[in-house]
Amino acid sequence: MAATRSNAPADKIRLGISSCLLGEPVRYDGGHKHDAYLTDTLGPFVQWVPVCPEVECGLPVPREAMHLEGDPASPRLVTIRTHVDQTERMLSWARRRVEELAREDLCGFVFKANSPSCGREGIPVYDARGMAQESGVGLFARAFIERFPLLPVEDEGRLHDPALRENFIERVFALRRYRDALGAGGGARGRLVAFHAAHKLLLMAHSPALAQEMGRLVARAKDLPTPDLRARYEELLLKALGLMATPAKHANVLQHMMGYLKKNLSADEKQEMLILVGDYRAGLVPLIVPVTLMKHYVRKYGVGYLAQQAYLSPHPAELALRNHA
């Protein structure tokens, strides 16, 4: 993996992806839906695990287009012209495939939007009169999400939104660091305590309440069996990071960080920082602006607790995710 200017994990992150997003010609019409951001920008930092449910369950390329029909909570996957029901074929393959994927060490999945197999939300489900409700989930996406309810998942359409993109990628990188930090073998409690210390402010930016709950859990680490501790901590971690970090929460974290610098910052430096935090909160500058100044002060004054915070560099700087969020 290329060197980065952040605390990116040493190993590439494994992410599942709908194959057509990588440019593989697997769509019903023999085409693909190559997404250049995913392959060219995010691609150097991840190892993709491609899945095409329709091809892997045995359907040919090209093939007749399909859509969802029936009950939106449990729809059927049916070919549009000849009305062949492929539901059982898809579901029995999906049940096996998600168990294989459980051994792939995935940190998330990027689904193709608007697909009756891969779409993670808002897929039209047609009733007997041919009327559609846009409330369905693709059959494979549903099987995946039910098997891995807390794993970060997104679709390529939503990843065009800078805030959703930053949130997804931040979660994925944090999960990789967590798994790397805990690893296998002994000493897991101590490593979990160190991971939590380094991620306190990142967690606060997503959910101050869950960050506190995790702090209480870590404080009781010695009293809990390690497997219980790990399972509960990982559940809270993924829940917390799944909540969007907002400008108000980021501003709160930055002001909290200023508290650690209050003996160091001059009146001018404090004022400059407060102005930038206010400008960020008002939407006048992106998050990278106050965070860059904060990093400068942390380096200048050598505040160890802040220097170790993943919040300052949660993903590779090359992705420029905070330049737009």
Output Rg (C-alpha) for the chain, integer angstroms: 22
Q: Is residue 52 part of the contact set for ligand SF4 (CB under 6 A)?
A: yes
Say how far apart CA 256 and CA 259 lie, in whole Å.
5
CB of 54 to ligand SF4, least distance (A): 4
CA dihedral 61→67→72→76, nearest 10 degrees, is -60
Q: Which stretch binds ligand SF4 (CB under 6 A): 51-59, 63-71, 197-205, 312-320?
A: 51-59
Q: Which stretch binds ligand SF4 (CB under 6 A): 53-61, 76-84, 144-152, 237-245?
A: 53-61
Q: Is residue 20 part of the contact set for ligand SF4 (CB under 6 A)?
A: yes
Q: Which stretch binds ligand SF4 (CB under 6 A): 37-45, 113-121, 156-164, 291-299?
A: 113-121
CB distance 209 to 82 below 8 Å: no
Q: Is residue 112 part of the contact set for ligand SF4 (CB under 6 A)?
A: yes
- What is the number of the residue whose Cβ is closest to ligand SF4? 20
Residue 172's nearest CA partner among 4, 5, 39, 12 is 12
Q: Is residue 98 part of the contact set for ligand SF4 (CB under 6 A)?
A: no
The SS3 assignment for 213 reads helix
Say how far apart CA 62 and CA 168 lie, in whole Å.
32
Q: In one letter, which amino acid is 147?
A: R
Q: In one letter, which amino acid is 22?
A: L
Is the CB of 26 or the CB of 214 nearer to ligand SF4? 26
Say how far apart CA 242 and CA 102 lie, in whole Å.
20
Is the CB of 16 or the CB of 290 nearer to ligand SF4? 16
CB of 116 to ligand SF4, least distance (A): 8
Q: Is residue 26 part of the contact set for ligand SF4 (CB under 6 A)?
A: yes
Is the CB of 115 or the CB of 167 nearer to ligand SF4? 115
Distances (CA, A) of 211 to 66, 203, 251: 44, 5, 16
Which member of 118, 137, 145, 287 binds ligand SF4 (CB under 6 A)? Answer: 118
CA 262: distance to chain centroid?
A: 34
Which member of 8, 9, 16, 18 binds ligand SF4 (CB under 6 A)? Answer: 18
CB of 99 to ligand SF4, least distance (A): 19
Is the CB of 38 or the CB of 55 nearer to ligand SF4? 55
* H helix intervals, the chain: 36, 53-56, 87-101, 139-147, 162-182, 188-206, 208-219, 226-242, 247-260, 267-281, 288-301, 304-307
Residue 72: cis peptide before it, omega within 30 degrees of 0: no
Is the CB of 64 or the CB of 180 nearer to ligand SF4? 64
At 26, list the tokens: 């697997």
Which member of 46, 86, 117, 287 binds ligand SF4 (CB under 6 A)? Answer: 117
Interface with ligand SF4 (CB under 6 A), residue total 13
- Residue 79, CB-side half-sphere exposure with 13 Å CA sphere: 14
Q: Which stretch binds ligand SF4 (CB under 6 A): 5-13, 77-85, 102-110, 111-119?
A: 111-119
Distances (CA, A) of 218 to 37, 186, 228: 37, 17, 12
Q: Which stretch binds ligand SF4 (CB under 6 A): 16-24, 35-43, 66-74, 292-300?
A: 16-24
Q: Note the residues at the interface with ligand SF4 (CB under 6 A).
A: 18-20, 26-27, 52-55, 112, 115, 117-118
